[in-house]
Amino acid sequence: MHPPVWVVIPTYNEAANVEGIVRATVAELVRLVPEAHRVLIVDDNSPDGTGQIADGLAESLPRVEVLHRAAKTGLGHAYLAGFDRALHGDAELVIEMDADFSHDPRYLEPMLAAAGNADLVLGSRYVEGGGVEDWGLLRRLISRGGGLYARLILGVPIHDLTGGFKCIHRRVLEAIQLESVRAEGYVFQIEVTYRALLAGFRVSEIPIVFRDRSVGTSKMSSRIALEAMWAVPMLRRSGPAAVRSRQPSGDAIGSRDDG
Ligand SMILES: Nc1nc2c(ncn2[C@@H]2O[C@H](COP(=O)(O)OP(=O)(O)OP(=O)(O)O)[C@@H](O)[C@H]2O)c(=O)[nH]1
Ligand SMILES: [Mg+2]
């Protein structure tokens, strides 16, 4: 039997997307892991009614549930609440996925396959076969520049540190002291991966083509991008103390393109 898979989808004002993404995700999971899966929507009291739509889905789809949070305190907090719920449930694999179709559920299949040989699998836009559709030059530059900056500062050979489509084994979430993660947004994604590497877990990247959202509004801002500039160097100080020391498992880092 496949280990239980929980897909955590954070939502804020995704009324136009939530039903479609949940149904598409459930359809893939029914095909891939029929006996053991769950979709957890984490909604921060979206004013556009996303939470109510999600409740309706949970009523009609037995493996869907909703975690309602009282207020929007950031994507990192929403993920931490979702991880906590999944770990209190039977999750062995936790997948982070956006609600806006930027993360295509068809990648769940290669992601789960890669999780057989890795502790953390990253959906990567910047390995061979990956990419970004529909982004303007500025957004591309910020994403590539930010990723390279983090890679250099932290000294880790990861091609896509800021992506939010990943599959994490329970053992990783239990080892990286989630309660002390403070970062939000992109830095949250960097921090989870960085701590997993520091703890000696095997991280692998699989290529994904990221599609820009077609409906709903973006929560990306220049403030979030700038915040990352000073927050990334801080991770070097907080990270090592935070991870429980583990025996590195040999070839800790790999991606499909460079083994
Ligand atoms: N629960 C919760 N979800 C959030 C919050 N901020 C963003 N999200 C969700 O997290 C996912 C990623 O956020 P996006 O706004 O798509 O961020 P992005 O992909 O960097 O930027 P755009 O696609 O351009 O908007 C989406 O499903 C959002 O609805 C938040 O504060 N709380
Ligand atoms: Mg998005």
Instruction: Say yes or no: CB of residue 11 within 6 Å of ligand 1.
Output: yes
Listed range (20-24, 163-167, 181-185) with the worst mean pLDDT: 181-185
- CA 100–ligand 2 middle distance (angstroms): 6
Which ligand has the nearest atom to the CA of 134?
1
Q: Is the dihedral of CA 210, 168, 36, 69 positive or negative?
A: negative
Banded model confidence at residue 244, pLDDT cuts 50, 70, 90: low
H or E segment at 124? Answer: strand 120-124
- CA 102–ligand 2 middle distance (angstroms): 6
Give pLDDT, residue 139.
85
Tell me which of 25, 39, 84, 100 to substitute to probe ligand 1's pocket, judged by most ligand atoms within 8 Å of the beta carbon: 100
- CA 245–ligand 1 middle distance (angstroms): 32
Give pLDDT, residue 215.
81
Exposed / middle / buried, residue 204 (Cβ in 10 Å: 0-12, 13-18, 19+): buried
Q: Whose CA is nearest to atom 12 of ligand 1?
A: 98
Q: Mapping DSSP to helix (H, G, I), strand (E, B) and coil, where does residue 76 land?
A: helix
The pTM assigned to this predicted structure is: 0.92
Banded model confidence at residue 133, pLDDT cuts 50, 70, 90: very high
- CA 74–ligand 1 middle distance (angstroms): 9
Banded model confidence at residue 182, pLDDT cuts 50, 70, 90: confident
Q: Is the dihedral of CA 29, 90, 84, 256 positive or negative?
A: negative
Q: Is the dihedral of CA 37, 128, 98, 156 positive or negative?
A: positive
Say which residues have a Cβ less than 8 Å from residue 164's Cβ, sequence separation at least 6: 75, 96, 97, 98, 103, 189
* pLDDT of 119 higher than 80: yes
Banded model confidence at residue 167, pLDDT cuts 50, 70, 90: very high
* pLDDT of 124 higher than 80: yes
Q: Which atom of ligand 1 is nearest to the CA of 14?
A: 29
* pLDDT of 33 higher than 90: yes
Instruction: Say yes or no: CB of residue 167 within 6 Å of ligand 1.
Output: no
- CA 19–ligand 2 middle distance (angstroms): 16
Tally Cβ neighbours within 10 Å of residue 26.
20
